[in-house]
Amino acid sequence: MGKIFDWIDSHFGVKEPHKRFLQRTIPPNVNYSYCLGGIAFTYFLMLAFTGLLLSIYYVPSEKEAFKSIIAITNEVTLGWFIRSLHKWSANLFIVFIIFHAIRVFIHKAYKPPRELNWMAGVLGFVVAMASGFTGYLLPWDQKAYWATEVGTSMFGTVPLIGDYLIYAVRGGLDINGTTLIRFYSLHVLYLPISMVIILWAHFHMVKRQGIAKRL
């Protein structure tokens, strides 16, 4: 294993530049609360992986969406398991982002020079919530429909551009198949790509600035 990796690396050369990242010294007095962000990231990986699997069976159309969800749960071997993993990882992802933010807040790690990283984190949280909101519609059942009805109605309360926003988000006057496709596209393309970019920036800044020491 090591030999194969060394051979690849002799051509590819990823080991050297990442040494500083992987073998850096960690300040004393860190404890397990510093793992919270890492746990959230692990959930993100789980979501990406189970999401890729779900996308093989899920059909994002008005007629098929609900049926395909039923099929994933009842007919596909281990489908119920993958779907539950996705669902629970999504919930715990949000929970651990919040725990992580609380830890950062308590340690005052949002202060300069790390303020930009705090902003990146907040942006990531917004994207995570947006993923949750768009993903919630995809089962295309009553709960999903009404949650989206309420959620998109909130866009309508924005002054001046409210009407534009609500119809642009719904893709029509009411929630229908167009909305479903929009949300699906956001959920599997736009938001994950944004998330990857944000996380890259987040980790890059952690690498540059080190982790904040306890007060």
Partner 1 sequence: MKRRDFLKKVIKAFFLTLTAFIFSASIYIYPSNIRKRRFHYIYLMDEDDLPKKGVRKIEFHYEREHRIVNSRVFVVAGNDKFTAFSPVCTHLGCLVNWDNNKKEFLCPCHGGKYNASGEVIAGPPPKPLTRLPLEIKDGKVYVGIKV
**At CB < 8 A and 24+ separation, what contacts does 1-4 make?**
none
- Report 175-214 residues binding partner 1 (CB under 8 A): 178
Quote the tokens at residue 158.
Answer: 């924005």
Please tell me whether residue 136 binds partner 1 under the rule CB under 8 A.
no
Helix boundaries (H) for the chain: 2-12, 15-22, 36-57, 65-74, 79-106, 115-137, 142-155, 162-170, 177-185, 191-209
Please tell me whether residue 132 binds partner 1 under the rule CB under 8 A.
no
C-alpha torsion angle, residues 109, 115, 119, 120 (rounded to 10)? -80
CB-nearer residue toward partner 1: 38 or 172? 172
Q: Report the distance separating Cα 82 and Cα 87, nearest Å.
A: 9
CB-nearer residue toward partner 1: 94 or 166? 166
Span interacting with partner 1, options 37-45, 78-86, 172-180, 204-212, rule CB under 8 A = 172-180
Q: Report the distance separating Cα 54 and Cα 65, nearest Å.
A: 12
To partner 1, the closest distance from the beta carbon of 74 in angstroms equals: 27
| One residue of 57, 125, 136, 167 binding partner 1 per CB under 8 A | 167
- Report 141-160 residues binding partner 1 (CB under 8 A): 146, 149-150, 153-154
Please tell me whether residue 113 binds partner 1 under the rule CB under 8 A.
no
Binding site for partner 1 (CB under 8 A): 146, 149-150, 153-154, 164, 167-168, 170-173, 178
